[in-house]
Structure 1
Amino acid sequence: MTFEVLLSEDAVRDIEDIYRYIAEYDAVENADRVLVALESICSGLGTMPERGNVPKELRSLGMSEFREAHYKPYRVIYRISGQQVVVYCVVDGRRDMQSFLQRRLLR
């Protein structure tokens, strides 16, 4: 079964911000590499999105409908809805994820 993968505006902005940060503070080549990897992770959710785990920060709040995929240190947070996979955010997992996810997903 194939799922349609949709990125929220926030997720698109997250990826753009990650790219700009790496390009500015590291190298454009590294930013390109990370961009390709993140796009691959997102598009790969079209097949077998159930393989992702429930983020521990959300599990502790009793929320099990969201899942995550990883390209370390980045975490792609998404939800399966029928035949669609909606990516809600792409975030550096080294930040305070509990607060971030509460702000982003519970608004």
Structure 2
Amino acid sequence: MARNYKVLWAQAAEEDLKSIIEYICIDSPLAARDSLKKIKTKASNLCSFPQRGRIVPELKDQGIIQYRELIIPPWRMIYRIYEEQVYVLLVIDSRRNIEDVLLERLVRKK
């Protein structure tokens, strides 16, 4: 029998998503709604098969293999599986350098 995981959103990921949707909404509320639905659906689908995402390549190169990502063009949703939970940690523009984003987040937390 397949395990069901609970998908949880970190506050930072929720803020990322809010910023994305607000930005899109400036030009097209309909596109913003569709983007929100697409991202939320992809995240919700992780409850049945969280390993579907690849290990984040930039982190894998550093020996860090516990973080995975789904590509939802033009975004990357970074998450971590822990026991029976999937934690959505970031939703970022795929053109951004993940290392820069992580460094920026670490500095901002101080």
Relative to the length of structure 1, the TM-score reads 0.92
Q: Which amino acid aligns with 1:22?
A: I
Structure 2: runs of 5+ lacking an equivalent? none
CA separation of 1:103/1:64 partners in 2, compared to 1, >3 Å: closer, same or farther? farther
Structure 1: runs of 5+ lacking an equivalent? none
Separation of aligned partners in 2, 1:59 and 1:103:
19
Shift of 1:98: 2.1
Structure 2 partner of 1:12: 14
- Aligned CA RMSD, in angstroms, stands at 1.6
Structure 1 partner of 2:36: 35
Residue identity (%): 34
The aligned length equals 106
Where do 1:66-105 residues align within 5 Å? 66-104=67-105
Structure 2 partner of 1:65: 66
Relative to the length of structure 2, the TM-score reads 0.89
